[in-house]
């Protein structure tokens, strides 16, 4: 059983975590900074992601995120520590993920930087280090036959040593997607509009041809936009 997130302590698979503060939210998800408080624990900090799934589509998105993190084991892909499916007091389905805690993202680094046209990072070697790690993480995702589909600065977590991991896998899809009709092309466009951030979306996802393949190249376009933002 899992206690309500309205209480100071939540139990996931018999492990206790004390909620310290909320550190993020987006869509139907909330992220908390939590501390392990179980017997024998030494107060390690983690991130707890709570997804309130009011529709089957949201539940599928949460399951997709879990499946992706279980499937891909790579230094530069965010690992999953624990997860659980529960019902809250309102009868809504919730998905809880326990994840490593990172101090920020590439987006927070950009937000705290000197602003355009200056680079958000003071050390060029840090930029190159993060770029390489993003490429290696994305390569691992592609090697598993998946397309991330929402690569952007907010989805690259970094720690104090500028170690980077790719996160947020609710938008992933198999690749390539073969489009054979106008109806299928419109379906691809609609999904891209729902799951992909506009300023990082590849051209073929804005105006998808009626006969084409949508593959890993769309992630590479997003990667280029991400690098531009970093620099």
**Angle 6-7-8 (CA atoms, 0-180°, nearest 5)?**
120
- What is the distance between the terminal CA atoms of the chain, rounded to a whole angstrom? 46
Residue 4: which pLDDT band, with cuts at 50, 70 and 90?
very low
Most confident of 24-28, 41-45, 67-71, 85-89: 67-71
Q: Which of 59, 156, 142 is nearest to 103 (CA)?
A: 156
Contact (Cβ atoms closer than 8 angstroms) between residue 138 and residue 219: yes
- Taking 80 as the threshold, does the pLDDT of residue 99 lie above it? yes
Contact (Cβ atoms closer than 8 angstroms) between residue 35 and residue 17: yes
Give dist(CA 61, CA 69) in Å, integer: 13
Residue 10: which pLDDT band, with cuts at 50, 70 and 90?
confident
Helix 124-143 vs helix 217-230: crossing angle, to nearest 10: 170
pLDDT of residue 117: 87
pLDDT of residue 31: 94
Residue 165: which pLDDT band, with cuts at 50, 70 and 90?
very high
* pLDDT tens-place string over residues 116-159: 888 988 888 999 999 999 999 999 999 999 999 999 999 999 99
Average pLDDT, the chain: 91
What ranges in 94-145 are assigned the alpha helix state H? Answer: 106-112, 124-143
Neighbours of 183 (CB within 10 A): 9
Give dist(CA 202, CA 169) in Å, integer: 18
Q: Which of 14-18, 37-41, 181-185, 190-194 has the lowest mean pLDDT?
A: 37-41
What ranges in the chain are assigned the alpha helix state H? Answer: 56-71, 106-112, 124-143, 182-195, 203-206, 217-230
- Taking 80 as the threshold, does the pLDDT of residue 161 lie above it? yes
* pLDDT tens-place string over residues 16-40: 899 999 998 888 899 999 999 877 7
Q: Which of 131-135, 159-163, 215-219 has the lowest mean pLDDT?
A: 159-163
Q: At 98, is the secondary structure helix, strand, or coil? A: strand
Q: What is the mean pLDDT of residues 61-82?
A: 95
pLDDT of residue 39: 75
Q: At 205, is the secondary structure helix, strand, or coil? A: helix
Query: At a CB cut-off of 8 Å and minimum separation 6, what does 175 contact?
Result: 142, 145, 146, 147, 214, 215, 216
pLDDT of residue 15: 87
Between residues 90 and 154, the one the model is more confident about: 154
Active-site residues, by number, are 150
Give dist(CA 105, CA 117) in Å, integer: 19
Task: Quote the pTM value.
Answer: 0.89
């Amino acid at each position: 059983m899992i206690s309500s997130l309205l209480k100071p302590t939540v139990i996931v698979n018999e492990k206790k975590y004390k909620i310290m503060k909320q550190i993020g939210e987006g869509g139907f998800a909330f992220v908390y900074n939590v501390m392990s408080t179980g017997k024998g624990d030494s107060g390690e900090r983690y991130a707890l992601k709570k997804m309130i799934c009011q529709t089957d589509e949201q539940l599928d998105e949460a399951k997709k995120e879990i499946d992706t993190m279980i499937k891909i084991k790579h230094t530069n892909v965010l690992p999953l520590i624990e997860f659980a499916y529960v019902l809250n007091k309102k009868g809504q389905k919730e998905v809880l993920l326990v994840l490593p805690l990172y101090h920020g993202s590439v987006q927070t680094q950009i937000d705290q930087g000197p602003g355009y046209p200056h680079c958000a990072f003071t050390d060029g070697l840090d930029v190159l280090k993060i770029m390489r790690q993003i490429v290696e993480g994305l390569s691992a995702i592609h090697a598993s036959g998946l397309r991330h589909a929402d690569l952007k600065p907010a989805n690259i977590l970094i720690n104090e040593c500028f170690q980077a991991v790719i996160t947020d896998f609710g938008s992933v899809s198999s690749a390539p997607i073969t489009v054979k009709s106008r109806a299928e092309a419109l379906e691809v466009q609609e999904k891209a509009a729902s799951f992909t951030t506009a300023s990082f979306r590849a051209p073929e996802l804005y105006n998808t041809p009626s006969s084409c393949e949508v593959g890993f190249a769309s992630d590479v376009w997003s990667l280029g936009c991400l690098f531009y933002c970093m620099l």
